[in-house]
Amino acid sequence: MLQQKHLLGLDGYPSEDIQVIIDTAFNFREVLDRPIKKVPSLQGVTIVNLFFENSTRTRISFELAQKRLSADTVNFTASSSSLKKGESFKDTAQNIEAMKIDAVVMRHPTPGAPKHLTEFIDAIIINAGDGTHEHPTQAILDMMSLHEKFGKLKGLKVAILGDILHSRVALSNIFGLITMGAEVTLCGPPNLIPTFIHDLDVTVNYNLDEVIEWADALNVLRIQRERMGRGLVPSTREYRSMFGITQERLEHHKKEIVIMHPGPMNRGVEIDGSVADSDQAIILDQVLNGVASRMAILYLLCGGKPSEEKV
Amino acid sequence: MGLKRLGKNLVLKNGTIIDPHHKKTIHGDVWIKDGTIAGVGGFKAPKSSETVDCSGKVITHGFCDLHVHFREPGREDKETLQTGSLAAMAGGFTRVCVMPNTNPPLDSPESINFIREKAENCPIHIHPIGAVTKSQDGNDLTEMGLMHQEGAVAFSDDGLPIQDGAMMRIALEYATLVDVPIINHAEDVCLRAEGVMHEGRISTHLGLPGNPDLAESAMVHRDLELAEFTGARLHVPHVSSAKAVHHIREMKQKNKNVTAEVTPHHIFFNDDALTSFNTHLKVAPPIRTEEDRRALIQAVKEGTIDCIATDHAPHTIEDKETTFDLASFGMIGLESCFGAVHKVLMDQEGLQLEDVIALLTAKPRAIMGFDPDLFTLGRAAEINVIDADKEWTFEREHVRSRSINSPFYGEPLKGKVELTISCGRIFSN
């Protein structure tokens, strides 16, 4: 069992619980290699996937994890227009509560929305991304992938590259990795790295080549196309030349470095297609580990309350 | 409990009488006859007078708040002049200045007159502040001269900063005609951007868009320079940052026409309190760091900040019971003001009770030129009876406002207003 009822974020989350989740996730990884990829662990548990923001990968990953655990799942996708009205959030929450749901997996564009949801309903809440705040399950699958590759997290040198300011993936990774004893360096355009980020015990280095020399692994974030040419990033070619993970740049450094990406990728912008497809990239392992991690999280949070009450 | 008409003769007996105007503290009685002061200290009141034992209590001036939002006209579901008056009296306020960001805004002599007429039936004195620009659009100057004649005591586009420096210059220059202060909500809207809380360590943890302190201090600095340049009166509302305090301190050394206020919430809370995503703490300007809070308290102690003002800003439950980005800015503050301010400034910071009271009475009155001599015989009574030692916890039952958006619930406060006398009425808590 985990110490906290919900998984809202990794800020202040206990290291021993992160380790339990990762260990459990490796057990579920084996399930995914079996011919019949299904266990009855969460039979009778009802989970709603409540997505107030578009998502394909995270939602499918959660859905698969739920199905592999034999949970009953419902999907709710709110249109962005109903989102504008604040009260619909409370109403939606209370409707879900009335329908006797055990757990809610929620994505929402506003930081703190999952915390807000806990004030309205008793169900277990799992944050699948809240605006520019946290994306804890992504960070856990990233840490699981690093653990798989290196056999440890403590002392590992991890660089996160890109738009840190708008990235919940970066923030959750920072909280998780620091808690687990890794070292974190951030790299990206100075205006896309929060001014007060050093308070989170990370290092900032704008020189990508120095960062590559330093790092064991490089987590490359998606650079949102809508930020290009809107005052935040001057142009695609400027970004590529300063911060792009190109084949040429990596060849210049004669060292092994593990490349990660949370997806979806902009091939040819923040990362070359050939780098993404190379052996040093563990991007597809991350995807598979995502299902296993989410199985572990759902199992550890929702387990213990399955179907003993069957008549 | 509640509001009543005053009887013919009322004697407040055996209190500590604090007169913040003459800076005098004596022990004795106060006699109120037909709603006016008939005796202070020693006198002969009729035997039939109603008496209130004030042993161990303080008798002092009614408080004056230069910054409230009573939402009338337009959002009477949040507050009205009447309900706001009750909230004020529950907090010991007998005189308030209402901000003009109503719907429609108070941007004409007619709308100022509307407030003045409606205020005549209220149990406290309500002074309208006129808008600086028509529709508060930041472009066209209002009829300040005519509005002043109708009773506007200052001009402000509060809630909406005057972003255009040339417009601010014009407003300050023109206001010298009527010699009242311009009150500019000082936040550079470009630097503030989408910020919903102070930009710092906590906003970084929460992933919430930050509003940096320099959004305030840069505009305060501009306004101070413009005030000096034009010779106009400038009042800086709700100062929130150490940087703004620094600029005000510097300018005050050479310019006597500058005044400033701070809210109870900016000296009570720091941004650590926002880690709960509590929307009741979402205000503009934002609650800032502990260092900023310390600087504000220091500024109050040394006189850089002249007075306390609540920025009482009522909102509906729906406006606040939502996600942080959608929640409205503002909190109510009249009822909790004295207990919060007294707790911080006297209990924690060692100010004298007389000094705390002055921040709520003589000092704000001096800024607006309101009659300061409230214990003079024959004057309409604006009086508070206070239990300064009372420790209490702020709860919903203490709220008289039509709205309940306060972050003070459950907070232990110190010092409570027990009786407030104003406009021939008496309010007891």
Reference A158, options A244, A69, A258, A60; nearest CA is: A258
Measure the CA dihedral B43/B45/B51/B54, to 10°. Answer: 0
pLDDT band at B276 (very low <50, low <70, confident <90, very high): confident
CB contact under 8 A, A113 and B203: no
Mean pLDDT score, B26-43: 95
Is residue A236 domain-shared with residue A151, that is, in the same domain?
Answer: yes
Is residue A209 domain-shared with residue A295, that is, in the same domain?
Answer: no
Is residue A117 domain-shared with residue A210, that is, in the same domain?
Answer: no
Is residue A145 domain-shared with residue A237, that is, in the same domain?
Answer: yes
Least Cα separation, residue A89 to chain B (angstroms): 7
Listed in sequence order, the residues at least 6 apart from B272 whose beta carbon sits closer than 8 Å to its beta carbon are B202, B290
Answer whether residue A24 is part of any domain: yes
CB contact under 8 A, A90 and B322: yes
- Cα Rg of chain A, angstroms: 20
Is residue A141 domain-shared with residue A282, that is, in the same domain?
Answer: yes
Answer whether residue A6 is part of any domain: no
B62-368 fold: TIM Barrel (3.20.20)
Instruction: Give the Cβ contact number of residue A309 at 10 Å.
Output: 7
CB contact under 8 A, B323 and A134: no
Q: What percent of chain B has pLDDT over 90?
A: 97
Chain A residues lying within 8 Å of B317, measured CB to CB: none
pLDDT tens readout for residues A115-148: 999 998 999 999 999 999 999 999 999 999 999 9
* SS3 (DSSP) at A106: strand
pLDDT of residue A229: 63
* Chain A residues interacting with chain B (CB cutoff of 8 angstroms): 11, 86-87, 89-90, 108-113, 115-116, 130-134, 168, 171, 194-197, 199-200
Reference B223, options B258, B274, B196, B268; nearest CA is: B258
pLDDT tens readout for residues A162-191: 999 999 999 999 999 999 999 999 999 999
A contact test, residue of B315, B323, B325, B326 with most A CBs within 10 A: B323
* SS3 (DSSP) at B236: strand
- Predicted structure pTM score: 0.93
Exposed/middle/buried for residue B173 (C-beta within 10 Å: 0-12, 13-18, 19+): middle
Q: What is the dotted CATH code of the domain comprising B2-59+377-428?
A: 2.30.40.10
Residue B322 in tokens: 């939502």
CATH number of the domain where residue A89 is located: 3.40.50.1370
Listed in sequence order, the residues at least 6 apart from B30 whose beta carbon sits closer than 8 Å to its beta carbon are B11, B12, B15, B17, B37, B39, B40, B59, B375, B383
CB contact under 8 A, A113 and B323: yes
Is residue A295 domain-shared with residue A271, that is, in the same domain?
Answer: no
Check residue B172 and report its DSSP letter.
Answer: H
Q: What percent of chain B has pLDDT over 70?
A: 100
User: β-strands B58-61, B9-19: how paired?
Assistant: parallel
Residue A294 in tokens: 């989410």
pLDDT tens readout for residues A6-15: 999 999 999 9
Burial B291-320 (b: 16+ CB within 10 A, else e): ebbebbbebbeeebbbbbbbbbbbbeeebb
Q: Could you tell me if B357 lies within 8 Å of chain A, comparing CB atoms?
A: no
A66-80, B330-344, B387-401, range with the lowest pLDDT: A66-80
Is residue A217 domain-shared with residue A262, that is, in the same domain?
Answer: yes
Partner residue facing B204 (CB), from A108, A113, A196 = A196
Chain B CA closest to residue A135? B207
Does B223 qualify as catalytic in the annotation? no
Order across the sheet with B125-128: list the strands.
Answer: B63-68, B93-98, B125-128
pLDDT tens readout for residues B292-325: 999 999 999 999 999 999 999 999 999 998 889 9
Q: In this model, does residue A83 exceed pLDDT 60?
A: no
Strands (E), B63-195: 63-68, 93-98, 125-128, 155-156, 182-183
pLDDT of residue A231: 75
Domain that holds residue A27: 15-135+288-306
Check residue A123 and report its DSSP letter.
Answer: S
Chain A residues lying within 8 Å of B278, measured CB to CB: none
Answer whether residue A56 is part of any domain: yes
Answer whether residue A301 is part of any domain: yes
- Active-site residue, selected from the candidate residues B65, B188, B311, B319: B311
Q: Domain limits of chain B? A: 2-59+377-428, 62-368
Is residue A84 domain-shared with residue A176, that is, in the same domain?
Answer: no
**What are the distances in angstroms from CA B163 to CA A269, B136, B215?**
38, 12, 11
Q: In this model, does residue B225 exceed pLDDT 50?
A: yes
Mean pLDDT score, B229-257: 98
| Dihedral sign computed on CA atoms, order B253, B255, B261, B266 | negative
CB contact under 8 A, A133 and B203: no
Check residue A131 and report its DSSP letter.
Answer: T
Chain A CA closest to residue B320? A86
A contact test, residue of B190, B197, B204 with most A CBs within 10 A: B204
Residue A290 in tokens: 């995502």
| Dihedral sign computed on CA atoms, order A228, A229, A234, A237 | positive
**Segment (H or E) for B197:** strand B197-198
Is residue A148 domain-shared with residue A274, that is, in the same domain?
Answer: yes
Q: Could you tell me if B272 lies within 8 Å of chain A, comparing CB atoms?
A: no
From CA B323, how far away is CA B331, in angstroms rounded? 16
Listed in sequence order, the residues at least 6 apart from A15 whose beta carbon sits closer than 8 Å to its beta carbon are A179, A180, A181
Chain B residues lying within 8 Å of A139, measured CB to CB: none
Strands (E), A36-166: 46-51, 72-77, 103-108, 124-130, 157-161
CB contact under 8 A, A196 and B200: yes
* SS3 (DSSP) at B415: strand
pLDDT of residue A76: 85
SS3 content of chain B, % helix, strand, coil (to 5): 35, 25, 40
Chain A residues lying within 8 Å of B190, measured CB to CB: none
pLDDT tens readout for residues A274-311: 999 999 999 999 999 999 999 999 999 998 543 343 33
Mean pLDDT score, A216-229: 85
Entry field: residues in chain A: 311
Is residue A76 domain-shared with residue A143, that is, in the same domain?
Answer: no
pLDDT of residue A85: 57
| Total of domains in chain A | 2
Q: Which ranges constitute the DSSP H helices of B91-239?
A: 109-119, 144-150, 165-175, 189-192, 201-206, 213-230
Is residue A218 domain-shared with residue A129, that is, in the same domain?
Answer: no
Q: How many CA atoms lie within 13 A of B306 on its CB side?
A: 23
Partner residue facing A110 (CB), from B199, B321, B324 = B324
Chain B residues lying within 8 Å of A130, measured CB to CB: 207
B contact test, residue of A80, A81, A87, A174 with most B CBs within 10 A: A87
Entry field: residues in chain B: 429
Q: Tokens 């409990």, residue?
A: B1
Q: A96 phi and psi, to 5 degrees?
A: -65, -45
Is residue A296 domain-shared with residue A282, that is, in the same domain?
Answer: no
From CA A282, how far away is CA A289, in angstroms rounded? 10
